[in-house]
Each structure stands twice: as structure tokens, then as C-alpha cells.
Amino acid sequence: MTDDSREDDALRVVAIIPARGGSKGVPRKNVRRVGGVPLIERAVRSALAAEGVDLVVVSTDDDEIAAVSAAAGARVVRRPAEISGDTASSESAILHALDELDRSGDRVDVVAFLQATSPFIPSDALANAVREVRAGTADSMFSAHETYGFLWAREHPDQADAGAAVAVNHDATHRPRRQDREPHFLETGAFYVFRADGFRQAKHRFFGRIRIAEVPEWTAIEIDDEQQLRIARALAALHETPERIPVRAIVTDFDGVHTDDTASVDADGVERVRVSREDGMGVSLLRRAGIPMLILSTEVNPVVRARADKLRVPVLHGIDDKESALRGWAQEKGIPLAEIAYLGNDVNDLPALRIVGWPIAVANAHPLVLEAARVVLGRTGGHGAVRELIERVLPA
């Protein structure tokens, strides 16, 4: 049997993710977060989770992208400026990465080309595509989802009836039922898998025997503008709901998290807030487990200190720069930011939410906080949200 017709377990599969620093539609796109995780890190994680992928490489011209990629477990290949501009093709970046790997003695038989602008790359579908190309049943595969949509185009301006609608994939005079039609498949752009030798020869991702790697339609969003980024963040909150939140520390805001974000004021100007007793029990369980907790608040009201003392939790209040305070506390404790959960509810929490590995929002948080969150809790502030987070952190 030839190499093309048998599965060869010795074939080496390398995932290559081109990710340049410049982007006009969405500035700094590849490090923007969806579900609390930078897009480039999401792509690296998807590739690492796909069975059959031996090495993950990120091709970039950007220091921040390089640092995030390396921390996520990828090898970084520095891309030269001449193939890093707006007009540079992904193929040029892949060819350059292959040449760099060749120079370092790394053999590549199969390439899995992933795009970080697709935040929901299904690792199982990627693994299946890798398996098919390794087995020789396809030379090139691409992710696509099934569609029964009726496609139309406009007549070219040079045509007599310029701008008129023209049916593309159907007869406009006949509208068959969905069950009576054959589906088409819409390319998602999430991943492509192909043999390295065939790619070098064709210098293009499609060649030889081309097959479809079918993926769920909801994973098909590709981020090219701010609106698509917001949609992706909403989808992440719907589809990515981990039961367990594996962190080494919890940091929370106070108002709107430990409280219901309301206050009563008596005639002497003394404020009173409403808190949850079950949050108190949760904090007690967390303390017994030896997991550090911090309350970080912009409020200077003595009630913050009083509640923290009651919970026996350290507090930093009257803090305007939450990001710096959180960085300093994490460094003092020797806990990486990636292993900290921050629970917030309002826009002053955004700087802290953006630097931790697990940004968490209460159910009634500000829309921008909900977009920034990796997890949105089911409970609201002052009604057991802290307890809910703690129960998802502590082992059963």
C-alpha cells in the first residue's frame, strides 16, 4: 500500500496558527478576550486538545501575542515584517513557519492550520480531520457547517440590469421544502488540515482530494468587527459553562457582589447594606479549605471593613486602581493571575477582570462585565453569588 492509502502513525502533525499584531477592523484582535480568554490562547488550547496534534506553533510579529501563546503551550515562530502586513496571505505565514521548522530539524508531515479569529474551534472535529488526512482518505480538509439557505447575488454593475437579484443555488420559481433539498456546506474558516508536501507544491490550502469536516453551526462565527466580537462573547456565556472552576484564589468586589447593590441611609447618614448569610457560610468553607480570598473595593464606607472582619477575610478598600492592587496582592501571595478568579458586577471591575484567568460575573452584572466574563453565575449579588462561586471552586 502507498503512503496515500494507509494510516501512518509516524506522520507528524503540526498545528500552525498565524496571528499578526495589526488589525484594522478590531484593534489588537488576536489578544481580545472571548469568554475571558484571549482569542490566540483559545486557538492554542483547541489545537492542544485535539488528539493527533503533535506540536502547536504560533506565527506572529507581535510581542504580546508571542507571550500569550507561549504561556498557553505553543512554540512561537517570529514572522518577518514583509509577510506581516494587511495584504500578507495566511499561506505565506504557513510556508515561512514550515521553513523555520525545517531549519530547526522539526519534520512536518501534516499541517493543521487554525485561525484565531474563530473562537469556537471544536477540537473533536479537528481531531477527526487530522485522522482522515493521516489515513490518506483526504489530502486537504476544511471546517464547514451544513446549510439549506437560499443564496442570491446581485447583477454586476456592468450588466444591463445592474443590481438585480439573481438566484445562485436554487431555482427562484420553485421553493422545495427543506426535507426535499440537498444541503450545501458553508466554510467556517476555523481550521484546515492538509498534507505538508502537497501544500508546499500547491502553495494553497486546497489541493488533491478535498473533504469537508462538518462542525456545528453555532461554532461558525468569525470575528472581523466589534459586533461579531460581542456576539461571540454572548455565545461563550451560553455554550461554555464549566461546572468546576479550578483556581487557587478568589478575589471579589464588595457592592453588588456581597451586597444587592442597594443601601439604606438613616437620618444621621449611616448606610446599611444587605448581605447573604449563605455567602458567609461559603466563605467559611473556603477558609477551611485553605484557599486565599480577598475583598477588593473602591468603597471607603466602614461597612466594607466590618463585613470583611465578620467573614475573617482580608480587604483592600478605597482602591481606585483595582488592577494594580490585584497584581500586587497576587505577587505577594505567589499566585499566578491565571489561577485567580475575580468576581465583579460593574464597569470599575473591568481592569481586574481582564487580567485574571477566571473573570466571573454575577447574574445581574453590567452588560460590559457580562461580555468580559468567562463564567456568568446564576445568582445575583447579595443573594448567594459568592457562595455559588465558592461551591464551583471547592472540590465536591
Where do we find the cell 465583579? 344
pLDDT at residue 237, as a whole number: 81
Asked if residue 19 lies in contact with residue 79, where contact means CB atoms within 8 angstroms, the answer is no
Same domain for 234 and 368: no
List pLDDT tens digits, range 287-307: 999 999 999 998 888 889 999
Asked if residue 38 lies in contact with residue 57, where contact means CB atoms within 8 angstroms, the answer is no
Mean pLDDT for 177-190 is 92
pLDDT at residue 317, as a whole number: 87
Same domain for 134 and 77: yes
Same domain for 279 and 166: no
Alpha-carbon distances, residue 284 vs 154, 231, 335, 337, 383 (angstroms): 65, 38, 21, 23, 17
CATH number at residue 24: 3.90.550.10
Rounded distance between C-alpha atoms, residue 359 and residue 155, angstroms: 48
With respect to residue 244, please indicate whether it lies within any of the assigned structural domains.
no
Label the pairing between strands 340-344 and 358-361. Answer: parallel
Please give the share of the chain, as a percent, with pLDDT higher than 70: 97
- Our count of domains for the chain comes to 3
pLDDT at residue 266, as a whole number: 78
pLDDT at residue 155, as a whole number: 84
Same domain for 176 and 298: no
Mean pLDDT of the chain, nearest integer: 92
Handedness of CA 37, 372, 354, 249 (dihedral sign): negative
In whole angstroms, how large is the CA radius of gyration of the chain? 25
pLDDT at residue 10, as a whole number: 78
Q: Per-residue confidence at 6, pLDDT binned at 50, 70, 90?
A: very low
Q: How far apart are the first and last CA of the chain?
A: 52
pLDDT at residue 4, as a whole number: 47
Name the region of 110 (left: φ>0; alpha: ψ -120 to 50; beta: rest): beta
Mean pLDDT for 159-187 is 87
With respect to residue 23, please indicate whether it lies within any of the assigned structural domains.
yes
Q: Per-residue confidence at 322, pLDDT binned at 50, 70, 90?
A: very high
Label the pairing between strands 340-344 and 315-317. Answer: unpaired
Mean pLDDT for 87-114 is 95
List pLDDT tens digits, range 24-73: 788 999 999 998 899 999 999 999 999 999 999 999 999 999 999 999 99
167 or 86, which is more confident? 167
CATH number at residue 343: 3.40.50.1000
Same domain for 189 and 83: yes
List pLDDT tens digits, range 225-256: 999 999 998 888 888 888 899 999 999 999 99
With respect to residue 139, please indicate whether it lies within any of the assigned structural domains.
yes
Same domain for 273 and 168: no
With respect to residue 259, please indicate whether it lies within any of the assigned structural domains.
yes
Same domain for 316 and 167: no
Same domain for 235 and 132: yes
Mean pLDDT for 334-351 is 96
Mean pLDDT for 104-111 is 96
Tell me the residue range of the domain where 162 lies.
Answer: 149-181
Alpha-carbon distances, residue 44 vs 56, 133, 153, 163 (angstroms): 7, 20, 37, 43
Same domain for 271 and 143: no
pLDDT at residue 90, as a whole number: 93
pLDDT at residue 239, as a whole number: 85
